[in-house]
């Protein structure tokens, strides 16, 4: 796991493209351009990481400040695992890594704003990693196959002993 470099953009884009075009997990316009997607994933966040093995990028995640001003001590992260690397625990590994990095950056908590209830693997994983569902927004997402699905807001304190 390492910080992404600007030269990783062309290798990161296919991961973003497949997930965003499917429109089944991220609240992103499925028709988003490459430039806008890379801006969203690599430029706007505070830090971007890649999971690399043998020169292949198997996954990527970002850390961003969830709210500016008085809310700037809570971060948000997004994770994508390449199709070839799914089912091997990489999402859990990236999430654990992101929590350590977020702590090092001074964040006090991590919040996921939009975890689709239909994304059952993710919901189970985040619970297993200590995230709590704070809220469920009914009919929050128009899923291309399932229709309207709910979205969870999930949260974990990064302060030891809290």
Residue 82 engages a copy of itself in binding (rule: CB under 8 A): no
> Residue 59 in contact with residue 78, Cβ under 8 Å?
no
Q: Rounded to whole angstroms, what are the CA distances from 132 to 104, 108, 124, 136, 152? A: 22, 15, 11, 11, 10
Interacting stretch for a copy of itself, rule CB under 8 A, among 8-16, 53-61, 64-72, 79-87?
A: 64-72
Residues touching a copy of itself, count (CB under 8 A):
36
Q: Which of residues 22-61 bind a copy of itself (CB under 8 A)?
A: 23-24, 26-30
Least gap, CB of 143 to a copy of itself (angstroms): 6
Query: What tokens were used for 32?
Result: 């988003």
Least gap, CB of 93 to a copy of itself (angstroms): 26
**Helix, strand, or coil here: 70?**
helix
Alpha carbons 153 and 21: distance in angstroms, whole number: 23
> Residue 91 in contact with residue 57, Cβ under 8 Å?
no
Member of 1, 109, 125, 129 binding a copy of itself (CB under 8 A): 109
Residue 161 engages a copy of itself in binding (rule: CB under 8 A): no
Phi, psi of 158 (to 5 degrees): -105, 5
- By CB under 8 A, name the binding residues for a copy of itself: 20, 23-24, 26-30, 67-74, 108-109, 111, 113-114, 134-144, 151, 153, 155, 157
């Amino acid at each position: 796991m390492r910080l992404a470099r600007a030269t990783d953009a062309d290798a990161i884009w296919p991961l973003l493209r497949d997930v965003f075009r499917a429109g089944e997990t991220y609240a992103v316009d499925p028709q988003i351009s490459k430039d806008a997607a890379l801006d969203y994933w690599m430029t706007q966040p505070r830090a971007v990481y890649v999971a690399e093995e043998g020169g292949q990028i198997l996954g990527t995640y970002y850390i961003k400040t969830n709210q500016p001003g008085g809310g700037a001590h809570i971060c948000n992260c997004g994770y994508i695992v390449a199709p070839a690397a799914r089912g091997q625990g990489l999402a859990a590994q990236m999430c654990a890594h992101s929590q350590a990095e977020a702590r090092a950056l001074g964040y006090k908590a991590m919040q996921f704003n939009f975890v689709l209830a239909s994304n059952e693997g993710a919901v189970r994983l985040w619970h297993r990693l200590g995230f709590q569902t704070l809220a469920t927004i009914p009919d929050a997402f128009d899923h291309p196959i399932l229709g309207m699905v709910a979205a969870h807001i999930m949260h974990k304190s990064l302060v030891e002993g809290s």
